[in-house]
Amino acid sequence: MNIIYDSINSVFMLNTENTSYGIAVVDGKYLGHLYYGEKLESTDIRYLLREDEGPRVPSVNRREKGAFLDCTPLEYPETGMGDYRESALCIRSLSGYRASELCYEGYEICEGKPSLEGLPATWGDPSGCRTLKIFCRDSLLGMKVTLLYSVFADSDAITRSVLVENEGEEPFYIEKVLSASFDMDDRGFEVMGLFGSWARERHIQRMPLGYGRQNISSFRGESSHQEHPFMALVTPETTQDAGEVYAMNFVYSGNFIAQAEKNQFDSVRMSMGIHPEGFTWKLGPGERFTAPEVVMVYSGEGLGKMTRTFHDLYRNHLIRSPYLHQKRPILINNWEATYFDFDEKKLLDIAEEASKLGIEMLVMDDGWFGKRSSDDSSLGDWVVNEEKIKGGLNALVENVKKMGMKFGIWIEPEMISPESELYREHPDWAIQIPGRETTQSRAQYVLDFSREEVTDYIYEKIAAVLRSADISYVKWDMNRQLATMGSCALPADRQGELYHRYMLGVYRMQERLITDFPDLLLENCSGGGARFDAGMLYYSPQIWCSDDTDAIERLAIQEGTAMIYPVSTMGAHVSVCPNHTVGRTTPFETRGHVALLGTFGYELDITKLSDEEKDLVKRQVECYHRYNDLIREGDYYRIASVAENGYYDSWMILSGDRQKALLFYIQVRARANGKSRFVRLKELDPEQNYRAEGKVYSGQVLMRAGLRIPAEFGDFVSRIIEIEAV
């Protein structure tokens, strides 16, 4: 890893082990984007700017700004001066003019990586990480902009963020501040993204990139079920193992836009940042604004390499939880078992049966507080309902602990029910536009988390509950998206700050929670998987992946999620059949195999299982203990996708020393008159022999010829196969 400034060519080069990223100072003023891709050993690459070609050359156009800006590959484009492509920065002056023109001023290279004020971000210590700061200024506005880039010794990822400072005399308004943007020639790129809905999150979609702008975005106030803060541009025919991939992932949980724009010159601009819709930030003299971090990954070896780069970066430089490298307790959650209809006796019955089968933690889900017996009331009233939990929370927790189990609890701190004590006392604490009907969703309003008095109040109430009993785990839920955006506490010209201030409030409270309760295992959740993003992973080592617990639906959800995020972050449980979301019946073993890829647990009424199913629970618990170290810490390889082949899904986890692997194989659809399949494993040691299902094979044979998997009778049949070096 290094960062070079070549003063002869005025070129900055950021190098990771296998990639390079080049930036040039153009005309002593602008920042041009030179290169991103496979590692280069030379910085003599200025010719990539095509400075001597029309329409840039003076003989053709006297180097007029309009022609120059609109066709030069730029590093951080702005609105208003003649680049008509999508800008990264749009400033409105106090007088109402929308334009800025940054001029390069200098740079600094430092060891390590500065943290981003109030925001989640990757981190790196001075020995393994370096940061480039490029300083630019717009003298008319008195605006200083610092572009930050970090590289890591142990990763091919490059991170970017932007700091905007007002060093002038009067305020200006930031109307758009994306965190990353660069231009490159088109290579027939296709756009990959993750799309879905509630209970159908993060399905992979790939489409050709045409002329114009294609974006993936959310202005729902969260990263969302529907679209995901990730975009990749891939060369045609890119597979898991071959092809070029340019990926961006946002370390942020609120509104975002990721965009690819192909223009008249077949140049492609790729960018990512906070969605400008609904965003304006007033920056007063002496104030600064930090744009959240984008992680960029280039892979010249297909999608699999991109995936493992993200996984390693997030495991080594993002997730801070002490639980990251620990086997998490196998939990049983009462949601699908009881929904709102439970009392302490029902919970204890579940815990008793679960403890006999080796389950290690009981999680009490929604419905334990205020007067909540449906989703109609009580959010905000964070006091235990002793009519349901007779004897109180502490007695319940102690009784669960007597069974040898830990105890966890569900909360939804960001919300307020119109039917609650809190709303009666503080109606102005809800996000609202005076005079308009406040939008309800799931019978709830959203609390104005931009206000510290609100987050402080909620925090204290929840902290009191956590202090009142021995609680090991919290599931932090968020069950609706934001609308009627207005804060009773912000002045008119700061209302456009609400979405982002809301996110800062959520981050502030999560930081406080994990600081004050350092042993707490925090799992984020949002109506299933609507806030499964890198921002949240900074606070919690795991996130509930989806409310859809059907094993077959989960294949696509977990495939899309694991394309970016480490498998150890995916909340995954075994639930009952017919499945509550899709009504499908799958074998108990298959449900276990699919959930084993994630954090693993149960979401069913265990007291109602048959003896045969209880035996299967015991076997699954054994499997979890046997394989979780490998699954959690190993490298993930996608082998086959049922979304592509229509019949089967397969992936494997390989230990870092290549001595052990675990192959997962799900036959989704049986085939009449079918044969066995040869499944080719990946990245084994070709010189090494391995044992699989009692037979010994060379690593080379397993990779080139494949392991034979018999055709099974019936749909949804699965197996996991242990492969061990001998």
> Can you tell me the distance from the alpha carbon of 393 to that of 471, in angstroms, rounded to the nearest whole number?
10
Cβ density class 495-527: b for 16+ within 10 Å, e for less: ebbbbbbbbbbbbbbbeebbeebeebbbbbbbb
For ligand DGJ, which is the closer residue by CB, 21 or 476? 476
Q: Based on the shown chain and the rule CB under 6 A, indicate whether residue 477 belongs to the binding site for ligand DGJ.
A: yes
Residue 533 among the catalytic residues: no
In contact, 664 and 718? CB cutoff 8 Å: yes
For ligand DGJ, which is the closer residue by CB, 123 or 532? 532
Least Å distance, CB 550 to ligand DGJ, is 14
**x-or-dash string of contact with ligand DGJ, 650-669, rule CB under 6 A:** --------------------
Q: Based on the shown chain and the rule CB under 6 A, indicate whether residue 523 belongs to the binding site for ligand DGJ.
A: no
* Token output for 209: 């990139």
Least Å distance, CB 358 to ligand DGJ, is 23
Q: At residue 27, what is the residue type?
A: D
Q: Based on the shown chain and the rule CB under 6 A, indicate whether residue 548 belongs to the binding site for ligand DGJ.
A: no
> Can you tell me the distance from the alpha carbon of 57 to that of 74, in angstroms, rounded to the nearest whole number?
17
In contact, 281 and 499? CB cutoff 8 Å: no
Helix/strand/coil (H, E, C) string of 106-120?
EEEEEECCCCCCCCC
For ligand DGJ, which is the closer residue by CB, 574 or 707? 574
For ligand DGJ, which is the closer residue by CB, 424 or 442? 442
Bridge partner list, 625: none
Q: How many CB atoms lie within 10 A of CB 612?
A: 8
Select from 237-245, 419-427, 522-530, 617-625 the region that touches ligand DGJ (CB under 6 A): 522-530
Query: In 461-599, where do the E strands start and end?
Result: 473-476, 521-524, 542-544, 570-571, 574-575
* Helical spans, DSSP H, in 318-410: 335-338, 344-356, 393-402
Least Å distance, CB 473 to ligand DGJ, is 13
Select from 139-147, 152-160, 316-324, 523-531 the region that touches ligand DGJ (CB under 6 A): 523-531
**Interactions with ligand DGJ, residue window 180-209 (CB under 6 A):** none
Select from 198-206, 485-493, 520-528, 655-663 the region that touches ligand DGJ (CB under 6 A): 520-528
Tell me whether strands 281-283 and 288-299 are parallel, antiparallel or unpaired: unpaired
Q: Based on the shown chain and the rule CB under 6 A, indicate whether residue 344 belongs to the binding site for ligand DGJ.
A: no
Least Å distance, CB 382 to ligand DGJ, is 15
Select from 225-233, 302-310, 311-319, 525-533 the region that touches ligand DGJ (CB under 6 A): 525-533
> Can you tell me the distance from the alpha carbon of 413 to that of 463, in angstroms, rounded to the nearest whole number?
11
Least Å distance, CB 80 to ligand DGJ, is 44
> Quick one: DSSP state of residue 289?
E
> Can you tell me the distance from the alpha carbon of 710 to that of 129, in angstroms, rounded to the nearest whole number?
48
| Residue of 365, 414, 419, 649 interacting with ligand DGJ (CB under 6 A) | 365
| Residue of 183, 366, 497, 559 interacting with ligand DGJ (CB under 6 A) | 366
For ligand DGJ, which is the closer residue by CB, 152 or 410? 410
For ligand DGJ, which is the closer residue by CB, 360 or 547? 547
| Residue of 76, 250, 256, 544 interacting with ligand DGJ (CB under 6 A) | 544
Binding-site size, ligand DGJ (CB under 6 A): 11
* Residue sitting closest to ligand DGJ (CB): 366
Q: Based on the shown chain and the rule CB under 6 A, indicate whether residue 30 belongs to the binding site for ligand DGJ.
A: no
Q: Based on the shown chain and the rule CB under 6 A, indicate whether residue 292 belongs to the binding site for ligand DGJ.
A: no
For ligand DGJ, which is the closer residue by CB, 12 or 544? 544
DSSP assignments along 68-98, one per residue: HHHHS-BSS-BSSSS--S--SEEEE-TTS-B
Least Å distance, CB 533 to ligand DGJ, is 15
> Can you tell me the distance from the alpha carbon of 522 to that of 724, in angstroms, rounded to the nearest whole number?
34
| Residue of 525, 570, 640, 717 interacting with ligand DGJ (CB under 6 A) | 525
Q: Based on the shown chain and the rule CB under 6 A, indicate whether residue 78 belongs to the binding site for ligand DGJ.
A: no
Least Å distance, CB 369 to ligand DGJ, is 12
* Token output for 223: 């990263």
> Can you tell me the distance from the alpha carbon of 105 to that of 454, in angstroms, rounded to the nearest whole number?
42
> Can you tell me the distance from the alpha carbon of 628 to that of 119, in angstroms, rounded to the nearest whole number?
31
Q: At residue 513, what is the residue type?
A: L
> Can you tell me the distance from the alpha carbon of 651 to that of 600, in angstroms, rounded to the nearest whole number?
17
For ligand DGJ, which is the closer residue by CB, 479 or 569? 479
Least Å distance, CB 333 to ligand DGJ, is 7
| Residue of 182, 410, 532, 636 interacting with ligand DGJ (CB under 6 A) | 410
Catalytic residue among 477, 550, 605, 635: 477
In three-state secondary structure terms, 490 is coil
Catalytic residue among 547, 548, 550, 605: 547
For ligand DGJ, which is the closer residue by CB, 292 or 527? 527
Q: How large is the C-alpha radius of gyration of the chain?
A: 27
> Can you tell me the distance from the alpha carbon of 427 to that of 103, in angstroms, rounded to the nearest whole number?
48
Least Å distance, CB 129 to ligand DGJ, is 35
For ligand DGJ, which is the closer residue by CB, 451 or 591? 591
Cβ density class 644-658: b for 16+ within 10 Å, e for less: eeebbbbbbbbbeeb
Q: Based on the shown chain and the rule CB under 6 A, indicate whether residue 335 belongs to the binding site for ligand DGJ.
A: yes
**Interactions with ligand DGJ, residue window 562-621 (CB under 6 A):** none
**x-or-dash string of contact with ligand DGJ, 136-175, rule CB under 6 A:** ----------------------------------------
Residue 477 among the catalytic residues: yes
**Alpha-carbon distances of 133 from 88, 113, 130, 453, 541, rounded to whole Å:** 17, 10, 10, 35, 30
Q: Note the residue count of the chain.
A: 726
**Helix 393-402 with 344-356: angle, nearest 10 deg:** 20
Least Å distance, CB 410 to ligand DGJ, is 6
Q: At residue 618, what is the residue type?
A: K
Least Å distance, CB 346 to ligand DGJ, is 16
For ligand DGJ, which is the closer residue by CB, 311 or 580? 580
For ligand DGJ, which is the closer residue by CB, 12 or 335? 335
Question: Could you tell me which residues come within 8 angstroms of residue 482 by beta carbon, excluding any fewer than 6 positions away?
Answer: 220, 221, 222, 431, 446, 499, 502
| Residue of 120, 292, 370, 527 interacting with ligand DGJ (CB under 6 A) | 527
Residue that is written with structure tokens 């019955």 in the block: 349
Least Å distance, CB 576 to ligand DGJ, is 14
Q: Based on the shown chain and the rule CB under 6 A, indicate whether residue 380 belongs to the binding site for ligand DGJ.
A: no
| Residue of 124, 528, 541, 601 interacting with ligand DGJ (CB under 6 A) | 528
Residues marked active site are found at 477, 547
Residues that bind ligand DGJ (CB under 6 A): 335, 365-366, 410, 477, 479, 525, 527-528, 544, 547
